[in-house]
Amino acid sequence: MSTPREIKILITGPMGAGKTTALAAVSSVTPIKTEATNSDLAQHSKTHTTVALDYGEVELAGGERLRLYGTPGQRRFNVMWQILAKGALGVVILIDMTRPDPIADLKDYYADFQSVIRESSCVIGVGRGSENSALSTADIAAACESLGSILPVFAVDVRQRNDVLLLLEALFSQIEMAAFE
């Protein structure tokens, strides 16, 4: 089985993890954003939050075109999660190490996107606060193992195009390998 040349990828994770920023960092087209004023300042201090999706596109070095869909982070938008998950071949979960319990976040999103992850591929990007956190990327990798998956875990600055591309290249490699199994 060969890998399709156009591939749908999800970027998910908790509110404020940097999903919109990561997508914008790599997209070759002007991203489509659906942001609203954030009224839940107790949850996060940012002014705006994604309420439906972000959309962008990126072409990898091998010519493969990835269609990137960023999800809203908050659970109340889980209807959008289900809609966006349809047809996805891979998931990037971004983890925010400044949040109270990044491992609980990982487990939550892993469970919520289990159907996509089981049928396709997943990588973990450890973003904000990784340098000051008591947890390391190894701890996140160990948490993935405890869930029964050995997943690539990368420390990334989601503002940096090369960091985000690293995540996407790793994910694409997984997808290709899965296609040949």
Partner 1 sequence: MQDILSPDLLSAAHRQLVNLLDSVPQIIGAFLATDDGFELTQVVAGKEFEPARLAAICSSIIALSHALVIESELGEPENFLIEAKRGKILLFTIDSNPKLSLAVIAKPAALLGQVLFQSKSCAREILAVLS
Angle of CA points 163, 82, 181, to nearest 5°: 60
Instruction: Determine the 3-state secondary structure of 111 from DSSP.
Output: helix
Nearer to partner 1, 35 or 169 (CB): 35
Alpha-carbon gap, residue 29 to 111, rounded angstroms: 31
Nearer to partner 1, 51 or 178 (CB): 51
Alpha-carbon gap, residue 17 to 14, rounded angstroms: 6
Amino acid type, 74: Q
Which one of 18-26, 29-37, 60-68, 137-145 is the stretch in contact with partner 1 (CB under 8 A)?
A: 29-37
Closest CA to 67 of 52, 87, 82: 87
Per rule CB under 8 A, is residue 46 in the interface with partner 1?
no
- List the one residue from 33, 67, 107, 161 that touches partner 1 (CB under 8 A): 33
Per rule CB under 8 A, is residue 57 in the interface with partner 1?
no
Q: Site residues for partner 1, window 58-77 (CB under 8 A)? A: 72, 74, 76-77
Per rule CB under 8 A, is residue 11 in the interface with partner 1?
no
Amino acid type, 6: E
Per rule CB under 8 A, is residue 41 in the interface with partner 1?
yes
Q: Site residues for partner 1, window 134-153 (CB under 8 A)? A: none
Closest CA to 105 of 137, 117, 141, 97: 97
Binding site for partner 1 (CB under 8 A): 32-43, 49, 51-53, 72, 74, 76-77, 79-80
